[in-house]
Amino acid sequence: MRHFVLFLAVIFFGLFLAVLNRSDSQSGSGVPTLRVFGYASFTGKWGAGPLLKNEFEKSCNCKVEFIEGSDSGILLQRLKIEGESLGADLLIGLDQFDLAKATSEQSWRKLSLGELNVYESVKPALVNSYFVPYDWGTLTFVARKNESAKLPESLDDLLESEWTRKIALEDPRTSSPGMQFLNWVVRSKGEQEGFEFIKKMMSQVHSFAPTWSAAYGLFTNKQAKLVYSYSTSPLYHKFEEKNDDYISLKFKEPLAVQFEFMGIPEFCRNCDLAEKFVNLMLSPQGQKIIMEKNYMFPVMKGVAENTEFAALMEEVQPMDQVEIPSSAEVDRLLKKWTELRRGDIN
């Protein structure tokens, strides 16, 4: 009996591995496979990726395969290591702080997308001909309604005693929203004053989480009263959890803007398909999927209208100029940040 059970287990286990193997490498069997490198929350089951994939596969006579990474830094390194051998056709999920690094480490194809009917706030992000943004969002502090009598309205308000050890921030050395915060303060207040402000902020901060998800987890678990997140975060709770308790704060200072870019590596194998996928992501249908699943603003006009995203987009006041900082500039800011946090734990 034992032999029989073991025999069956081995056969089924082998078949399971074979099926897994086949579903991964089925590209060789006729239809071409478009390989898209993206971050997990985009390509995962609950992200925009699977819906875009289904939509694309309906008309392309191809298969779309997502290759995941935890964040853009890891994705870029992965692209460098195995992109060419694996045949990476498209990279999704770089923000403006990654672009300089991405350009210096890889060769990219020029995108010819013609005139795009994008929002005014998005136009500064179109300066790079290798990468195109597919969504954007402003970052601000998110709070719970009715938890505090007076919510902060400017950066200086964050220094009030009510917020002491009540703010969840991300560390800019390990997280993109953290880098956005650093950049926001520096741009709003000037470099010297900005770093002095951050120094004062240190006593206000509950923790510097390594990732956005950890900081947000601290906030939703009521460890912190404020978290640095996306203006659109409350919409997630409203739509998915039917919870209207969260609010994104308006600040006197124009808010930091994050663009998410996509680009086609020079060594792509199915370059035409990649361009078509880019077009799908910029089409009204694709933009709607991204907006509703990624909880970010669409870049193209005519998608968010008559939704709560449009109302929010009207309300937020993003920075006018979005510059794409060089790697050296990012390093320099981080070095100053590290110096600020220098010292023994006590």
Sequence-separated (6 or more) residues with CB below 8 Å from residue 57: 63, 64
Q: Please tell me whether residue 217 binds other proteins under the rule CB under 8 A.
A: yes
Distance of alpha carbon 228 from the chain centroid: 14
**C-alpha–C-alpha distance, residues 288 and 274, integer Å:** 19
Q: Which of 150/242 has CB closer to other proteins?
A: 242
Least separation in angstroms between CB 309 and other proteins:
16
Interface segment toward other proteins; rule CB under 8 A; list 121-129, 134-142, 205-213, 254-262: 205-213
CB of 113 to other proteins, least distance (A): 28
Task: Please give the Cα distance from 208 to 177 (Å, whole number).
Answer: 11
According to the binding rule CB under 8 A, does residue 114 interact with other proteins?
no
Q: Nearest approach, Cβ of 273 to other proteins (angstroms)? A: 18
Tell me: does residue 220 bind other proteins (CB under 8 A).
yes
Among 15, 31, 127, 311, binds other proteins (CB under 8 A): 15
Distant-in-sequence, close-in-space partners of 184: CB < 8 Å, separation ≥ 6: 139, 253, 255, 256, 319
- Min. distance of Cβ 330 from other proteins in angstroms? 6
Of 148-177, binders to other proteins (CB under 8 A) are 165, 171-174
Q: Is 8 in the site for other proteins (CB under 8 A)?
A: yes
| Per CB under 8 A, 326 contacts other proteins | no
In the structure encoding, which two tokens stand for residue 226, read together? 């404020």
Which of positions 294-323 make contact with other proteins (CB under 8 A)?
295
Residue whose CB is less far from other proteins, 123 or 332: 332
Read out DSSP for 123-188?
Answer: GGGGG-SSEEEEEEEEEEEEEETTS-SS---SGGGGGSGGGTT-EEEE-TTT-HHHHHHHHHHHHH
Q: Where are the alpha helices (DSSP H) in the chain?
A: 2-24, 40-43, 49-60, 72-86, 96-105, 176-189, 191-201, 212-220, 233-240, 271-282, 284-294, 308-315, 327-340
Cα distances (Å, whole numbers) of residue 245 to 49, 139, 142, 147, 280: 28, 18, 11, 9, 34
* CA 73 and chain centroid, separation: 12
Could you say which residues in the range 93-112 bind other proteins, by CB under 8 A? 101, 105
Q: How is residue 243 annotated by DSSP? A: -
Applying CB under 8 A, does 202 fall inside the site for other proteins?
yes
Q: Which of 3, 58, 110, 150 binds other proteins (CB under 8 A)?
A: 3
CB atoms < 10 A from the CB of 76, how many?
Answer: 21
The one among 132, 179, 255, 257 contacting other proteins by CB under 8 A: 179
Residues 57 and 53: their CA atoms lie apart, in Å, by: 6
Residue 24 in the binding site for other proteins (CB under 8 A): yes
Q: Is 242 in the site for other proteins (CB under 8 A)?
A: yes
| 260-299 footprint of other proteins as x/- string (CB under 8 A) | -----------------------------------x----
**Which of these ranges, 110-118, 130-138, 233-241, 298-306, lies near other proteins under the rule CB under 8 A?**
233-241
Is residue 49 within 8 Å of residue 3, measured between CB atoms? Answer: no
Shortest gap between Cβ of 210 and other proteins (angstroms)? Answer: 5
Whole-angstrom distance, CA of residue 137 vs CA of residue 316: 10
* C-beta closer to other proteins: residue 205 or 299: 205
Examine residue 200 and tell whether it contacts other proteins (CB under 8 A). Answer: no
210 CB-contact burial (10 Å; exposed 0-12 / middle 13-18 / buried 19+): middle
Within 118-147, the residues that bind other proteins by CB under 8 A are none
Residues touching other proteins: how many (CB under 8 A)?
87
Which residue, 148 or 327, is less far from other proteins as judged by CB?
A: 327
Is there binding between residue 19 and other proteins (CB under 8 A)? yes
Span near other proteins by CB under 8 A; candidates 19-27, 132-140, 253-261, 265-273: 19-27
